[in-house]
């Protein structure tokens, strides 16, 4: 799970989430719109339910959420977005997966290829790295926001159906199957636990260690991909030592 957590922690440390705030709502709206095409009732449509929960975790206003749903159900006009996945390799051979929602596949593919090439990576064929990742639910609780101990969180999570649990000095990270994600999340929320991360995402099955100049190059690639308007999510399997990160990555 370390490869997934590393990028999230780096984003937090560098203030990346705040820097991207202007684009986050637009990306979330697009995700909700596409999910709503499968049905506008979140009680029936799990994909829409998860997209709405993700938007609310980012404090997206209800009016924005409702408007995005109406675009997806056809009640309001909206872009004709379709999903696209791009796979490739970054500096040091790290595997990278990019999920996008686009109204112009040719444009987005060309842009993503350019970003990879310019930053010492290369775009690969479909399926070249997908096998290195698996979809999981991730719930992160900051220790400073709860008075519960490690054993309490562990027992509640496992009883609710969690697959794995990891405690660090700063967080508790709970891993679930996609199917059990909502049950575990709801159970912990009822017990008063706040989440800093609550999402179904892709996590690497193994990681690649990066060192030296590979570190700033990899961070630049990840940031450039996430900055693209059509890109919804970027996943990678890199790992790096914190000392090296401070030295080369800031």
User: If DSSP codes are grouped into helix, strand and coil, which group holds residue 98?
Assistant: strand
- pLDDT the model gives residue 1: 40
**Biggest distance spanned by C-alpha atoms of the chain:** 52
- pLDDT the model gives residue 170: 86
Using CB atoms within 10 A of its CB, is residue 140 exposed (0-12), middle (13-18) or buried (19+)? Answer: buried
- pLDDT the model gives residue 196: 84
- CA dist 166 → 86, 122, 141, 155, 176 (Å): 30, 33, 11, 12, 12
- pLDDT the model gives residue 145: 86
- Domains, the chain, with CATH or none: 2-73 (1.10.10.200), 82-131+207-249 (3.30.70.980), 133-204 (3.30.70.980)
User: If DSSP codes are grouped into helix, strand and coil, which group holds residue 218?
Assistant: helix
Residues of the chain under the 50 pLDDT cut: 1-3
Phi first, then psi, for residue 99 (nearest 5°) are -105, 130
Q: Say how far apart CA 205 and CA 2 lie, in whole Å.
A: 10
Q: Residues 239, 206: contact at Cβ < 8 Å?
A: no
Predicted TM-score of the model (pTM): 0.85
Residue/partner pairs of 44-51 with CB below 8 Å, 24 or more apart: 46/182, 48/72, 49/182, 50/181, 50/182, 50/199, 50/200
- pLDDT the model gives residue 15: 56
């Amino acid at each position: 799970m370390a490869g997934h957590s590393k990028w999230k922690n780096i984003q937090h440390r560098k203030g990346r989430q705040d820097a991207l705030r202007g684009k986050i709502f637009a990306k979330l709206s697009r995700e909700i719109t596409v999910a709503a095409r499968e049905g506008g009732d979140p009680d029936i449509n799990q994909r829409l339910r998860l997209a709405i929960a993700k938007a609310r975790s980012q404090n997206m206003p209800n009016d924005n959420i409702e408007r995005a749903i109406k675009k997806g159900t056809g009640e309001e006009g909206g872009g004709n977005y379709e999903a696209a996945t791009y796979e490739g390799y970054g500096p040091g051979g790290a595997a990278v997966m990019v999920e996008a929602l686009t109204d112009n596949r040719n444009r987005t593919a060309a842009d993503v290829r350019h970003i990879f090439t310019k930053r010492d990576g290369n775009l690969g064929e479909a399926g070249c790295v997908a096998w290195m990742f698996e979809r999981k639910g991730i719930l992160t609780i900051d220790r400073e926001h709860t008075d519960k101990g490690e054993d309490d969180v562990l027992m509640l999570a496992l009883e609710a159906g969690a697959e794995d649990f990891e405690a660090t000095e700063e967080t508790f990270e709970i891993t679930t199957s996609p199917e059990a994600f909502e049950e575990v999340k709801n159970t912990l929320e009822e017990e008063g636990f706040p989440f800093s991360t609550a999402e179904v995402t892709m996590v690497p099955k193994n990681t690649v260690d990066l060192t030296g100049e590979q570190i700033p190059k990899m961070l630049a690639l990840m940031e450039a991909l996430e900055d693209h308007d059509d890109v919804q999510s970027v996943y990678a399997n890199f790992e790096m030592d914190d000392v090296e990160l401070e030295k080369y990555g800031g």
